[in-house]
Amino acid sequence: MPKRGHVMSSPGVFICHDLDAKAHQELQILTRLRQRLEETGATVTVYPGRASDDGFLPFLNQTLPDLQWFILFQTPTTAQSYQVRMAVNTALKLLEQHRLQGVVRFLASADGSPGEVPAEWTALPTFDGSYDYPRAIEKLVLTLEQDRTHLPVSAPPQAVQALMATPSPGPAPASGPSTLTSLRSPAQADYDRPLLPPNRLAPFGGSFRDFYFGATERGRAIIGLSFLLVATLVLGTVMALLLTHSSQTPATGNVTISYGRLQFFNTGLTGADNTTGICDGLDIHLQNLGTPQSGQSFYAWLLRDKSQLGGALLLAKFTPVHGRLDLRYTSPNHQNLLGSYSRFLITEESASLTPDSPTADLTRWRYYAEIPQVPDPQAETVGNTTVHYSNLDHLRHLLSGEPQLDQLSLHGGLSVWFFENVSKIFEWASAARGTGVPRDAAEMHNALVKILDYLDGTELVAQDVPRGTPILVDPTVGRVPLLTLDEKALPVPGYIRHIELDLIALTSSPHSTAAQRQLAGQIDAELNRVKANLDQVRQDARQLVNMSPKQLLASSTFPLLDDLLSQARTAFIGEVNPATGIRSGGAVWIFDHMPELAALNVTPYKA
């Protein structure tokens, strides 16, 4: 077959599958899909083994950030694979961060489309190759080619934002790669055409269309819309005047002008030691900034703590556009920025020579922000020691390093270990339930023991497992449990309790903000829901682990195994809101939103 034109300009494509050597038909389709993509000039990456291999997720984390597209090659086994679910979650997170152009799904067999699959998968642009795979492959290739011709990477940020294929939890960055364009509604039955995933505006948009185009309400809707537009214009004018006035009027008394904020985010590309991929990115959105003098530029910096000298990190050299700065910065080596920096500064310096560090002339410091570093007068008892922690200390305990965990060689902070351990509970619950009819009682038993090792902790797990059962997890990791069954018997509180203690201390500080207290309350509520799920996982696992092999494999045990998996899944990825179709809650939501506690409000610098 002659090669088509190389319209795609050599994009990188990752195909995620979970096929073994016996899946002859699916392997044939996968091979054809790969060949067809390569004919168009794409560089295709496929893991050489199965997704269940230990090396799959590290391979994915290393290669996917450098590619542009992720294709989920769905077969009957993929929906049951913990590793495939994690791979899709990673791809969707990169898409939200504008680091991927698109995430799509290819159904490779008739059995791959029905059944229980994550809600996020059904919302992906989908191509059904189960009946006519050559046609579906051509549709997929055409979509990728059209996307690159309709919206190049250099397209204006407004176009990128308007065509985002999935909702983003935070503000849209100033620029980023394009995503799928010209996609049709998920209501269509012809799955071989790309489908538009719902975004967070979809419920509003649907109800608005129903209202506006209703036959009996058409006139009333048009009048209402006219009033709404007029009111919006008036309000916008008033707000613009107020903002202009406030930007030109110096602060008086206790009033402090805020020019916007910056907040950390996780890329989630964590290394083996859990110290990277956390708080390794910054979103900065500022407005009403002044204009540098002729020959001068603004420079944005991250500064170390007040007690430390030097080591400033240059984020950007810039001149505000209409008074704005919208910047997304990601650490090249995914370093935890919060662990090293706590202050933000904008200086005005010569545009002809980029400085290595901020000027020592404080009259050239323009805008500033910092995380409070004043020790709390309220003392805390940690072990046998009395300490006075600051807001910065508590944030770092959560997000970059906790002293008690560091002593146990568990680096990276409370948040990441909580996230990783809940993900392992979900993985082992999936292994215990398996697919179809359970067949290996020994493997199921071992998975249940591991679940209890992590929930109870290695110090207390003996009370829940048969006498003489060995510890089956890494003893270092297993020393700190997720649940706190007996705080006095543990080296440190369990992760859920420990996170709650830091949240309480942070929000009780006189230096905490209203936004911090509100978000901390939301995180605490989600922690309570996760704890309830994990409590039920523990109850299920305690019953199952004490069963005989024959009892484990009996059909009467299936409902208990199903509940174990359901509770573990909800604890990890939360639940889908039926009204919005958006998944929230769970350890994933908590881990993603925890960095927002460290947001900084930018104000004029005062010497």
The token duo for 41 is 């000039």
Distance, C-alpha 420 to centroid of its chain: 13
The token duo for 295 is 């020959």
- Please provide residue 155's backbone torsions phi and psi, each rounded to the nearest 5 degrees: -60, 155
- 282 and 405 share one domain: no
Q: How many residues does the chain have?
A: 607
Assign 265 to helix, strand or coil. strand
Higher pLDDT, 374 or 132: 374
**Is the per-residue pLDDT at 136 higher than 90?**
no
pLDDT tens sequence across 533-590: 999 999 999 999 999 999 999 999 999 999 999 999 999 988 877 777 677 889 989 9
Which of 217, 249, 281 is at the close of a domain?
Answer: 249
Query: What's the confidence (pLDDT) of residue 50?
Result: 85
Q: Residue for token digits 């993929």?
A: 78
3-state secondary structure 479-490: CCCCCCCCHHHC
Query: What's the confidence (pLDDT) of residue 408?
Result: 94
Query: What's the confidence (pLDDT) of residue 118?
Result: 79
Residue 607 lies in a domain: no
**Please, what's the largest Cα pairwise distance for the chain?**
82
Query: What's the confidence (pLDDT) of residue 135?
Result: 82
d(CA 482, CA 204): 38
- 192 and 205 share one domain: no
pLDDT tens sequence across 223-251: 455 555 555 555 555 555 444 444 444 44
Query: Looking at the 3D structure of the chain, how many domains does it have?
Result: 4
Residue 602 lies in a domain: no
- 332 and 387 share one domain: no
d(CA 228, CA 437): 58
Laid out side by side, the sheet with 325-330 consists of 313-318, 296-303, 343-350, 365-370, 600-604, 260-265, 281-286, 325-330
Residue 415 lies in a domain: yes
d(CA 8, CA 147): 9
Banded model confidence at residue 187, pLDDT cuts 50, 70, 90: very low
Q: Would strands 575-576 and 583-584 be described as parallel, antiparallel, or unpaired?
A: antiparallel
The token duo for 184 is 């049709």
Residue 530 contacts residue 426 (beta carbons within 8 Å): no
Higher pLDDT, 165 or 419: 419
Residue 277 lies in a domain: yes
Q: Indicate the pTM of the whole model.
A: 0.66
- Please provide residue 4's backbone torsions phi and psi, each rounded to the nearest 5 degrees: -75, 175
Give, for 73, the enclosing helix (H) or strand (E).
strand 69-74
- The rounded percent of the chain whose pLDDT value lies above 90 is 50
Which of 344, 370, 396 is at the close of a domain?
Answer: 370
Residue 7 lies in a domain: no
- Is 503 exposed, middle or buried (CB count within 10 Å of its CB: 0-12, 13-18, 19+)? buried
- 412 and 464 share one domain: yes
pLDDT tens sequence across 50-91: 887 878 887 888 889 889 999 999 988 887 787 898 899 889
Query: What's the confidence (pLDDT) of residue 99?
Result: 85
Residue 272 lies in a domain: yes
| CATH number for 26 | 3.40.50.10140
Give, for 362, the enclosing helix (H) or strand (E).
none
- 190 and 241 share one domain: no
- 447 and 557 share one domain: yes
- The rounded percent of the chain whose pLDDT value lies above 70 is 78
- 242 and 280 share one domain: no
Banded model confidence at residue 196, pLDDT cuts 50, 70, 90: very low
Which of 328, 350, 370 is at the close of a domain?
Answer: 370
Banded model confidence at residue 426, pLDDT cuts 50, 70, 90: very high
By residue range, what is the domain housing residue 498? 380-573
- 344 and 398 share one domain: no
Query: What's the confidence (pLDDT) of residue 274?
Result: 80
d(CA 450, CA 458): 10
Buried b or exposed e, range 572-599, using 16+ CB within 10 angstroms:
bbbebeeeebbbbbbbbbbbbbbbbbbb
Beta-carbon count within 10 A of 349 CB: 18
Residue 586 lies in a domain: no
- 136 and 216 share one domain: no
- 88 and 127 share one domain: yes
Question: What is the chain's percent helix, strand, coil content, to nearest 5?
Answer: 45, 15, 40
Where do the H-state alpha helices sit in 189-286? Answer: 202-212, 218-248
Q: How far is CA 266 from CA 170, 596, 599, in A?
A: 12, 10, 13
Buried b or exposed e, range 311-344, using 16+ CB within 10 angstroms:
ebbebeebebeeebbbbbbbbeebbbbbbbbbbb
Residue 87 contacts residue 57 (beta carbons within 8 Å): yes
- 243 and 228 share one domain: yes
pLDDT tens sequence across 440-450: 999 999 999 99
Residue 375 lies in a domain: no
Residue type, 403: P
- Is 249 exposed, middle or buried (CB count within 10 Å of its CB: 0-12, 13-18, 19+)? exposed
pLDDT tens sequence across 478-530: 999 999 999 888 889 999 999 999 999 999 988 999 999 999 999 999 999 99
- 137 and 231 share one domain: no
